[in-house]
Amino acid sequence: MLSLLSSWSLELKTIINLVDQGHQWKFHGGIHPPSRKERTKTLAISTIEMPQQLFLSLSQHIGQPAVPVVAIGDTVQKGQLLAKQDGFISAAVIAPTSGTISDICQYSNCHISGIETQTIVLTPDHLNTWRTKLPLTLTSDHQQILERIKLSGITGLGGAGFPAAVKLATKAAIEFLIINGAECEPYITSDDLLMQERGAGIVAGIEIMAQLLKPQRIIIAIEDNKPQAITAMKEAAKQSIIDIIVRAIPTLYPAGGEKQLIEVLTSKQVPSGKIPADIGVVVQNVATSHAIANAVLLDEPIVSRIVTVTGELVDKPGNYEVPIGTSIEQLLIHAQFKPQTQQKIIIGGPMMGFALQQINAPVIKSTNCVIAASINELPDAPPEQNCIRCGDCEQVCPANLLPQQLQWFAKDQDHKKLNDHNLFDCIECGACAFVCPSTIPLVQYYRVAKAEIRQTTEDKRQADRAKDRFEQRNIRLERDKQERLERSKKAAEVRQAAMSKNSDGDAVAAALARIKAKKAAAEESSDAPNKDRVAAAIARAKAKKSAQTTSPEPAAQESDDIDPQKARVAAAIARAKAKKAAQQQKIDSSNDQSTNADTIETIDPKKARIAAVIAKAKAKKTLELEQANNNGNDDKSVTVADTIETIDPKKARIAAVIAKAKAKKALEQQQSNNNNDQR
């Protein structure tokens, strides 16, 4: 054990030594897609005018949606907390400017699915007043700093949107803190510009993270196609109080992928199913680092982000600092978007980004790039051809998978083989689909297969749970039964003991009397009040008939013929009407316990409900009795249905429910009759 540990530390030392010597490694595969960054890589960061409304989705990150802490109509200030994080993996939502909350509703989100999510709508007052700021310093308590980062709603700004505080709260011993400025995707230049212009802020963020994580080495990795950024960061790093290595790495997609970047810089591979912290590495994006510096040192939570807007269809491309929640449509208009009949709006890069479905979706924290591409610029893939097993995909796969084998298995839905071939280690970088000569949408096949497998696993988990619960229930029922038996046995014993004391005859007589009483009571309770009630209903109906002009006469009439389906429909209509009326009039009714419906007084809605429910149950019982008696559909159902004509909505509801129950019973009866007939 000890020797293992020492050999491990030795190995670590050599890795650190190699890193110090400027050594770099390679990851498997990789591609060189056309970079297309030229258009925006020299354009300084600029701002846009504050939009009329900001749409702040509560699901801007991976994990649980945030929970709103404001209500519609509230006035908020810039930087104020709007929604707090819910659980460990979640992130807060902050007001990007001052204004009023005009709505909290379902709204389109900047998400691949195009599904609407809960969104806070903020109408800015254009004053942009900050809430009071309480800046911390580098020497503040760690817990306090972490809390601040959490409350500032900072998520990974590189694209995935993983809450930043979670990574920084790790307990693992960290050897390498890697700051990701690789930005390997084509088109995107937001991090590039951030590094060029705000290197000091990024370094300040790094200092805070270094304070929290105590890493042995800190490396800023930048692809070598961004010479200005490299120079700027080297300059900024020199000013820092701590040692920061700025490393230019070869331009090769997907070098900016977390796992690939770790391999390039440290030769380590993140074991499958683990996180970088498990091998002593933490990776943060440069923009995240900048946001952390703002949050901690200035107490300015994340209110805006830098978005690259580019593509052939915008005349004024650029790197814009945009308030979170700005609609992408507005952003595009600002960049002089020239819509064509057909185009793609890509959020993120062209390799891993997604095509937007609603143009009114807002900018969220992880929106780093908007590409308005004409159909010639990023054409649709030609129809899929047969795989010729050329193996090009395997040569470029950064995860060293066998993409074409996976594709066959995915088409065959062979989940076992997919797992054998480590489908879940695929990072969906799209390199395989990029090089495929048969233009097979490989990544799409993997996504679907992954979804299917996840679904199957989830189903399996639920099935196991259900099985457990079912078995538990059976055990419980069995136990209850045993206990009941036990109890009755005991009671019998007690009785027997008592009987043997008293004279036998008395006991028998007493028992008989008890039974008789019970019977009588039962009859009474089921029969008598019902008759009363029915009579009352008829009376009521008659009384109200004249007064009511808009009564659902036809429905009632229709329930005359024995068609249960129609009766059901009628009942449903009546119920809906009654509900509406109830809402309008708020008639409170009550019912004395003798269940006479005529004695309704306006006392309190709860009582009315109880009454209604009792009536319902009663009605059902009656029906059962009736059916037991005459085994078919009878006039009484008509009588009951007649009560639908009443105005009193409460009563109507009761009636409706009764009708419904009756109809159900009748239907069943009819069906069973039919069945019998057929036999």
Partner 1 sequence: MMYLSVTPSPHNLGTNKTSRVMASVMLATVPGVATLIYFFGYGVLFQIAICCLTAILSEMAILKLRQKDIAINLKDNSALLTGILLGISIPPLAPWWIGVIGTCFAIIVAKQLYGGLGFNLFNPAMVGYVLLLISFPVAMTNWLMPLELSHVVLSFSDYISAIFTGVTTTGLSIHELRLGIDGITMATPLDTLKTDLTLGLTSGESMQKPVFDSLGGIGWFWVNIAFAIGGLALLKLKVIRWHIPVAVLGSLLFFSLIGYLLNPDSQGSSIFHLFNGATMFGAFFIATDPVTAATSNKGRLLFGCFIGLLIYVIRTFGGFPDAMAFAILLANMTVPVIDYYSKPTTYGRGGNNE
Partner 2 sequence: MSFLLIAVIILTGLGLVFGLLLGYASIKFKVKEDPVAEKIDLLLPQTQCGQCGYPGCRPYAEAVANGDDITKCAPGGKATIEQIADLLSVPIPDNSNNDDIVIKKVAFIIEDDCIGCTKCIQACPVDAILGTTKQMHTVIIDECTGCDLCVEPCPVDCIEMIPVAQTTKNWNWQLNAIPFKQLES
Partner 3 sequence: MVEYVLLLIGTVLVNNFVLVKFLGLCPFMGVSNKLESAIGMSMATTFVMTVASLCSYLVNQYLLAPVGLEYLRTLSFILVIAVVVQFTEMVVRKTSPTLYRMLGIFLPLITTNCAVLGVALLNVNEHHNFIDSIVYGFGAALGFSLVLIMFSAMRERIAAADVPAPFKGASIAMITAGLMSLAFMGFTGLVK
Query: For binding to partner 2 (CB under 8 A), which residues are involved?
Result: 59, 109, 111, 113-115, 117, 342, 357-359, 380-381, 441, 444, 447-448, 450-451, 454-456, 459, 462-467, 469-470, 472-473, 610, 613, 616-617, 620, 657, 660-661, 664
- What would the x/- binding string for partner 1 be over residues 348 to 387, using CB under 8 A? --xxxxxxxx-x-------------x-x--xxxx-x-xxx
Partner in contact with 473, chosen from partner 2, partner 3, partner 1, none, beta carbon below 5 to 8 Å by kind:
partner 2
Cis peptide before 51 (omega within 30 of 0): no
**Displacement of CA 434 from its chain's centroid (Å):** 31
Say whether residue 265 binds partner 1 (CB under 8 A). Answer: no
Query: Per-residue contact track with partner 1, 179 to 218, x per CB under 8 A?
Result: -------x--------------------------------
Q: Tell the residue number behind the tokens 């069945």, with chain if given.
A: 675
Partner from partner 2, partner 1, partner 3, none binding residue 412, C-beta < 5-8 Å depending on class: partner 3
Least CB distance from residue 478 to partner 1, whole Å?
A: 47
d(CA 269, CA 258): 10
Shortest Cβ 157–partner 3 spacing (Å): 42
**Minimum distance from residue 112 beta carbon to partner 2 (Å):** 8
Cβ contacts of residue 169 below 8 Å, gap of 6+? 146
Q: Nearest Cα to 307, choosing from 78, 450, 110, 26?
A: 110
Shortest distance (Å) from residue 457 CB to partner 1: 19
Computed over its alpha carbons, how large is the radius of gyration of the chain? 36
Dihedral (Cα; 256, 29, 223, 40), 10-degree rounding: -80
Q: Given candidates 23, 238, 274, 531, which one binds partner 1 under the rule CB under 8 A? A: 274
State which residue, 114 or 605, has the beta carbon closest to partner 1: 114
* Per-residue mark of binding to partner 1, 409-428 (x: CB under 8 A): ------------xx--x--x
For residue 115, the partner it binds in partner 3, partner 2, partner 1, none, with Cβ less than 5 to 8 A by kind, is partner 2
Using rule CB under 8 A, residue 343 touches partner 1: yes
Strands 304-310 and 369-374: parallel
Residue whose C-alpha is closest to residue 20's, from 175, 159, 148? 175
Phi, psi of 490 (to 5 degrees): -65, -45
Q: Which does 576 bind (CB under 5 to 8 A by kind): partner 1, partner 2, partner 3, none?
A: none
Which residue bears the tokens 């009878």?
Answer: 634
Rounded Cα distance, 310 and 332, in Å: 9
User: In this chain, which stretch among 236-244, 409-417, 480-488, 493-501 interacts with partner 3, using CB under 8 A?
Assistant: 409-417
Which listed option, partner 3, partner 2, partner 1, none, makes contact with residue 472 (CB within 5 to 8 Å by class)?
partner 2
Indicate which of partner 1, partner 2, partner 3, none lies near residue 660 (CB less than 5 to 8 Å, by partner kind): partner 2
Piece of 99-107, 406-414, 465-473, 501-509 that binds partner 3 (CB under 8 A): 406-414
Smallest gap from Cβ 484 to partner 3, in A, equals 42
At closest approach, how far in Å is the CB of 445 from partner 3? Answer: 12
> Does 386 engage in binding with partner 3 (CB under 8 A)?
yes
176 or 409: CB nearest partner 3: 409
Nearer to partner 1, 205 or 254 (CB): 254
Please, which residues have CB within 8 angstroms of residue 12's CB and are 6 or more apart in sequence?
Answer: 175, 280
- C-alpha neighbours within 13 Å on the C-beta side of residue 316: 13
**With contacts defined by CB under 8 A, how many residues of the chain interact with partner 1?**
77
* End-to-end C-alpha distance for the chain, whole angstroms: 79
Nearest to residue 248, comparing CAs of 216, 226, 215? Answer: 226
| Neighbour-count burial for 493-512, b at 16+ CB within 10 Å, e otherwise | eeeeeebeeeeeeebeeeee
Beta strands in 79-151 (DSSP E): 81-84, 93-94, 99-108, 116-124
Please give the Cα distance from 329 to 108 (Å, whole number). 12
Which of 211, 78, 84, 57 has its CA nearest to residue 150?
84
In whole angstroms, give the CA distance from residue 284 to residue 110.
22
Q: Among 263, 300, 642, 648, which residue sits at the site for partner 1 (rule: CB under 8 A)?
A: 263
**Is residue 184 within 8 Å of residue 223, measured between CB atoms?**
yes
Instruction: Indicate whether 412 belongs to the interface with partner 3 (CB under 8 A).
Output: yes
Contact range with partner 1 by CB under 8 A, out of 30-38, 500-508, 513-521, 626-634: 30-38
What is the spatial distance between Cα 236 and Cα 217, in angstroms, rounded to a whole number?
A: 17
In the set 316, 411, 476, 495, which binds partner 3 (CB under 8 A)?
411
Residues 85-114 that bind partner 1 (CB under 8 A): 114
> Of 239 and 385, which has the nearer Cβ to partner 3?
385
Pairing state of beta strands 45-47 and 318-323? Answer: parallel
Contact positions with partner 1 (CB under 8 A) in 323-342: 339-342
Least CB distance to partner 2 at residue 115 (A): 5
> Is 437 near partner 1 (CB under 8 A)?
yes
Residue 302 and residue 80 in contact, taking contact as beta carbons nearer than 8 Å: no
Q: Which residues bind partner 3 (CB under 8 A)?
A: 386, 408-409, 411-412
